[in-house]
Amino acid sequence: MEKIEKTVLVVEDEAMSRWIIANTLKRHGIPCLEAEHGKHALEILSQNPCDFILTDLQMPEMDGVELIRTLREREKTTCDTPMPIVVLSAEKGEMIETALQLGVHDYFIKSVPFESFMPRLKKLLST
């Protein structure tokens, strides 16, 4: 199995979905950290190096759009290279459009089994 040396931060409010995503990533040799919502993700990022974010959009506390907006604004002020962000959400409308405008790299719709996204996700992680 190909080991990927990038740490993924999984941001998902539903515990079972978060567990499935994290365990699928780990089975594929991809290290990950987990956050319940956008504010929790920002706390984790302040203390842990991550290379990639996989986030839901609809969450309590701070939704995925606000998380993405906050990260992109920080990157502008620090001149950091934009962190790759992929959306995994049941949302199909305006929130996806906003996320794409904010510079997400890709998005997956939750109704499809997460395992089917792995080839595309691995390709994104390897770039």
- pLDDT tens across 71-120, in order? 999 988 887 788 899 998 887 778 888 888 888 988 888 877 777 788 88
- pLDDT greater at residue 56 or residue 109: 56
CA atoms of 42 and 62, how far apart (whole Å) = 10
CA atoms of 2 and 51, how far apart (whole Å) = 17
- Give which of 114, 26, 58, 103 is closest to 8, Cα–Cα: 26
Is pLDDT at 127 greater than 80 in this prediction? no
CATH topology of domain 8-117: Rossmann fold (3.40.50)
Long-range CB contacts (within 8 A, 24+) of 104-113? 104/68, 110/17, 110/56
Domain ranges for the chain: 8-117
pLDDT above 90 covers what percent of the chain? 52
So what's the pLDDT on residue 22?
A: 94
pLDDT tens digits for range 2-15: 666 889 999 999 99
